[in-house]
C-alpha cells in the first residue's frame, strides 16, 4: 500500500482534497489535520476526492465522518467524490451512503 498523500485545491464553490493511498489507522490523522486547517465558509463545498484511495479501514471512515462534522459546524457541505467500489460497498453496508453526499466524480460535485 502507498503512504497517504493529500493535495488540495480551491474552486469557485469551495475546496477539493484529493486523497491518494491508504486511509488507515496510521494515516487517518493526516486527513483530520488537513481538514482542520481549512477555513470553510457557510455554503461552501468541501469535496474529498477518493479516486486515488487504495484502502480505507474503520479509522479512515471515522476521519471522513469527522470531516463531515467539521463541514457542518462551518455550515458547509461535505461531498465524497469518486469513491472506489470497495469503499462504497462498506459505506453502503454501514448505511453511511445515506449520511454522505456521494458523487461519481469530483468535477460533478
Distances in Å between the Cα of 69 and the Cα atoms of 63, 79, 86, 100 are 10, 12, 23, 11
pLDDT at 87: 96
**Kind of pairing, strands 5-11 and 14-23?**
antiparallel
pLDDT of residue 107: 77
Is pLDDT above 90 for 98? yes
pLDDT of residue 109: 62
What architecture (CATH level 2) is domain 5-108?
A: 2-Layer Sandwich (3.30)
Contacts with 6 (C-beta within 8 Å, 6 or more apart), sequence order: 17, 18, 19, 20, 30, 31, 34
Identify the pLDDT of residue 1: 66
pLDDT of res. 2: 74
pLDDT digits (tens, 9 = 90+) for 4-21: 999 999 999 999 999 999
Question: Which three three-digit cell numbers place residue 19?
Answer: 486523497
Contact between 103 and 80 under an 8 Å Cβ cutoff? The reply is yes
Q: Whats the size of the chain, residue-wise?
A: 109
- CA 39/CA 59 separation, integer angstroms: 24
What does pTM read for this prediction?
0.94
The 10s digit of each residue's pLDDT in 36-93 is 999 999 999 999 999 999 999 999 999 999 999 999 999 999 999 999 999 999 999 9
The overall longest dimension of the chain from CA atoms, in Å, is: 36
Amino acid at each position: 500500500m502507498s503512504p497517504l498523500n493529500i493535495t488540495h485545491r480551491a474552486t469557485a464553490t469551495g475546496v477539493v482534497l484529493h486523497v491518494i493511498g491508504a486511509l488507515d489507522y496510521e494515516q487517518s490523522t493526516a486527513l483530520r489535520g488537513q481538514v482542520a486547517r481549512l477555513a470553510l465558509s457557510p455554503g461552501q463545498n468541501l469535496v474529498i476526492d477518493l479516486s486515488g484511495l487504495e484502502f480505507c479501514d474503520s479509522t479512515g471512515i471515522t476521519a471522513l465522518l469527522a470531516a463531515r462534522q467539521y463541514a457542518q459546524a462551518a455550515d458547509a457541505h461535505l461531498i465524497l467524490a469518486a469513491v472506489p467500489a470497495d469503499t462504497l460497498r462498506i459505506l453502503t453496508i454501514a448505511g453511511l451512503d445515506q449520511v454522505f453526499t456521494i458523487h461519481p466524480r469530483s468535477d460533478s460535485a
